[in-house]
Amino acid sequence: MGKVTQILMLLTLLGLMAGCQQSSGGLYFTSDRDGNYEIYKRDISSDEDINITQTAEDEYEAVLSPDKKWLVFRVGPENNSSIEVFNLDSGSEAERFPISRGSGNFHSPVWNGSSDRIAFVGEVKNQGSKVFISGVRDSSPAKLSDIEAAEVGDWSSDGESVVFSSDDNERLGIHVRNPDGVNQRQMTCGADYGAVWSPDAKRLAFISEREGNPDIYVMERDAEDELCPTTKDSRKDVLRLTETDEPESDISWSPDSKQLLFVSERDGNKEIYVMESSGNKQIRLTFNEKDDYSPIWSPDGRTIAFVSELDGDPDIFTMDGSGQNQARITNNDSADTHPRW
């Protein structure tokens, strides 16, 4: 065998090994297999499920920090929950602490890009529902805005904008604000929610019911919504990407900001689709008689994790970006949901 051939084979092998390493990290999800909701990690390389939280309380909706060192999640019943953080590097000591303060319903936590701050919604009696910002080890979160907030959608990758939605009729729509509490802007003025920044922080995708049915829209960062009374003449508009008689949901951007995963019921039940960020080439990826939902791309963009009720209860599956090579990750009679890489 010639030296050139040997070198080419070695480079190919190294490339495959690197690809496996990129895709073989941890996949986190919520499961009630032990009698209550707990956060689990699936080690893809060993196919082992590890119970991360292990308490008698319900823990769910975990979000992994960008640096992979922290988990933030909800604790307690959905009408009276708190937000807690878990240090994944703490080993057997299991360092864990709350960042929400007082009693109420705290939800929708999202990380900033540097993994040291978290935004979330707090619904507190007689104080309404507001967005709060907290440092990882800060027990005194700061209120970001006085606007009534239904959810925090996302934190832009450049760290400059926290996006949240409001269902208050006077401020209906999607708002953004600098995490230090300045430069607030109302981006949309319709029944809009589920907003997600593209990884390059240039565009915002969201769900809107402004035409009566939940569809997916996208806008550039400095575009203006024609529904807003203060809209000026602009060549950058809010663009409607889907237009069906059935609802769309569960938006997930690809890491390169070129594609969007989403869920649609256009074919009779919830199935997973992918499309270009322009709305072109809408392709169905799953074909099951049961619901498939909660799709999310792996950080390297090679794998999609999702939930399927193929056998009657929610389990975690994976597939590649074309919908091929579908594999079951969990297989039990419990509910395994909310996958996060």
> What are the tens digits of pLDDT across the range 73-111?
999 998 899 999 999 987 656 799 999 988 899 999 999
Q: What is the chain's mean pLDDT, rounded?
A: 90
206 φ/ψ angles, rounded to the nearest 5 degrees: -160, 165
Looking at residue 92, what is its pLDDT? 59
> What are the tens digits of pLDDT across the range 312-324?
999 999 999 999 9
Return the bridge partners of 263, or none.
249, 272
CA distances from 159 to 67, 99, 156 (A): 14, 20, 5
Looking at residue 35, what is its pLDDT? 94
- Give the rounded percent of residues in the chain with a pLDDT score beyond 90: 81
Return the bridge partners of 327, or none.
318
Stated pTM of the model: 0.89
Per-residue pLDDT for 5 more than 70? no
**pLDDT interval class at 33 (50, 70, 90):** very high
> What are the tens digits of pLDDT across the range 134-159?
999 887 899 998 999 999 999 999 99
**pLDDT interval class at 46 (50, 70, 90):** confident
Mean pLDDT of 100-127: 94
Our measurement of the distance from residue 184's CA atom to the centroid of its chain's CA atoms, rounded to an integer in Å, reads 23
Rounded Cα distance between 32 and 91, Å, is 23
> What are the tens digits of pLDDT across the range 206-235?
999 999 999 999 999 999 999 998 877 666
Looking at residue 129, what is its pLDDT? 96
236-240: which pairs have CB atoms within 8 A and are 24 or more residues apart?
238/188, 239/278, 239/279, 240/208, 240/211, 240/215, 240/216, 240/279
> What are the tens digits of pLDDT across the range 243-257?
999 999 999 999 999
Looking at residue 19, what is its pLDDT? 38
Higher pLDDT, 329 or 43: 329
Range in 9-18, 31-40, 165-174, 326-335 with the lowest mean pLDDT: 9-18
Rounded Cα distance between 165 and 149, Å, is 6
Looking at residue 93, what is its pLDDT? 67
Looking at residue 10, what is its pLDDT? 41
- The closest of 78, 63, 70, 28 to 153, measured between CA atoms, is 63
> What are the tens digits of pLDDT across the range 6-24?
443 444 444 434 333 333 3
- The closest of 117, 91, 123 to 105, measured between CA atoms, is 123
- The closest of 254, 246, 328 to 295, measured between CA atoms, is 254
Our measurement of the distance from residue 335's CA atom to the centroid of its chain's CA atoms, rounded to an integer in Å, reads 19
Residue with tokens 């109302």: 186
Per the CB < 8 A criterion, the answer to whether 135 and 114 are in contact is no
